Amino acid sequence: MEGKKVIITGVPGVGKTTVVNEALKKLQEEGIGYKSINFGTFMFEVARNDKVVENRDQMRTLDRAVQKRLQQRAAQAIAQVSGNVLIDTHASVKTPKGYLAGLPEWVLRELMPDIIVLVETDDDQILMRRLSDDTRSRDKEGARSIAEHQQFNRSMAAAYAMMTGCTIRIITNADFLLERSSTELADVLR
Ligand code: AP5
């Protein structure tokens, strides 16, 4: 049987990976399995083999054509995965030359999601999470710029729904309320 394909998005540092891990733990206890895939990791494997980057945060500064090629190769590889699949990625990527669609037509055609989830929270909470994470090389931007990115992602999600017929679900991952956001995501995935 065909599985469910769910794409999870949100600006860097909003807590996508944290919410996904918690939700999958809940489902595992009920015997519901999902393959959890990080789109950026697939892109990074290709980029590192091609020797165009040394760390994943450099990918968004690559030439647009190179990012497009990496996107395409990642989408083709992920499309081969069968069963219930959860793909952690971005509705849009902030590059030095402007927003790049994370799920353009050539990616959506491969993935054809059932649901796209947008994880959001207050802009200043995201700013604080980024500032306290020294394992990554995060872009330096203020709360207003993060707000613009979250707003832009909603517009992109609307376009993706028009292209594929998928539904869009918005989940708020507020400080100290991880239990609530992961429960909401588990409900979406069931
Ligand atoms: P990716 O690997 O997705 O990196 P990212 O965007 O930086 O996302 P993270 O996984 O680091 O952040 P997160 O939102 O998952 O937050 P986390 O759970 O860690 O992408 C890497 C790169 O790949 C991109 O920059 C791009 O170049 C490329 N890429 C990917 N997809 C692409 C696409 N489709 N097209 C083109 N390029 C693409 O949490 C952050 C912190 O918050 C943690 O410290 C956590 O403990 C804390 N936290 C989380 N939830 C809570 C809470 N409720 N309360 C308090 N603290 C919390």
Tokens describing residue 146: 């993060």
Q: Whose CA is nearest to atom 26 of ligand 1?
A: 60
Q: DSSP string spanning 107-138?
A: HHHHH--SEEEEEE--HHHHHHHHHT-TTS--
The backbone torsions φ and ψ at residue 47, rounded to the nearest 5 degrees and listed phi first, read -65, -40
Please state the length of the chain.
190
pLDDT of 7 = 98
What is each CA distance from 186 to 19, 61, 91, 152, in whole angstroms?
9, 34, 20, 25
Q: Whose CA is nearest to atom 1 of ligand 1?
A: 40
d(CA 101, CA 46): 19
Identify the residues whose C-beta falls under 6 Å from ligand 1.
Answer: 10, 12-18, 38-40, 43, 56-57, 59-60, 67, 71, 88-90, 93, 102-103, 129, 133, 136, 173, 175-178
pLDDT of 133 = 86
The arithmetic mean of pLDDT across residues 8-35, rounded, is: 97
pLDDT digits (tens, 9 = 90+) for 64-117: 999 999 999 999 999 999 999 999 999 999 999 999 999 999 999 999 999 999
Tokens describing residue 87: 């793909």
Reply yes or no on whether the pLDDT at 1 is more than 60: no
Please tell me the pTM assigned to this model: 0.94
Q: DSSP string spanning 47-106?
A: HHHTTS-SSGGGGGGS-HHHHHHHHHHHHHHHHT--SSEEEE--SEEEETTEEEESS-HH
The backbone torsions φ and ψ at residue 180, rounded to the nearest 5 degrees and listed phi first, read -70, -45
